[in-house]
Structure 1
């Protein structure tokens, strides 16, 4: 199943498929089913490996994006977090959970 998903050009999704299959079998085993989990012996790296990203946002791109954010017709409660993400480059979840 993972190979089919990977063959269509979605290696990250193939790894997610493996994780879901692994969880389904773990749930079944936890609830008394006597089955082997086929995903246990299959490592994520055997499905796909990913190269680290080396792309950086340039100062020009930050400046242009900042100007575009200001020109979009939206609520300030949406515009302000977008600017904060752009200036700090944090993930959305990190910003939401920040104190």
Structure 2
């Protein structure tokens, strides 16, 4: 079995993974928000709703995957009659990734 060197393990760059169930009529946050130094991949695991990404609003449903670039306002709303399940995966970019790479190099050298 071959081990992946830590500096080549892209999964180590993930900031957070979070699954949320949003009730009918609900939103995943109180208001639009951004991640200044991160991009986000969102997987819809069940139900249907609307995603606002920047100035665009799109319908989402089970098995859809949505990419949210850094510094882009976004939110997810449940417009269906059942729970809306969403899996958020956030990965740093720009300065956020530079900071993580520097920290990882320090861990590798120690």
Q: Normalising by the residue count of structure 1, what TM-score does the alignment of the two structures yield?
A: 0.23
Q: Which has the higher contact order (CA 8 A, sep 6+)?
A: 2
Normalized per residue, which structure has more strand?
2
Higher-Rg structure is 1
Q: Which has the higher helix share?
A: 1
TM-score by length of 2: 0.22
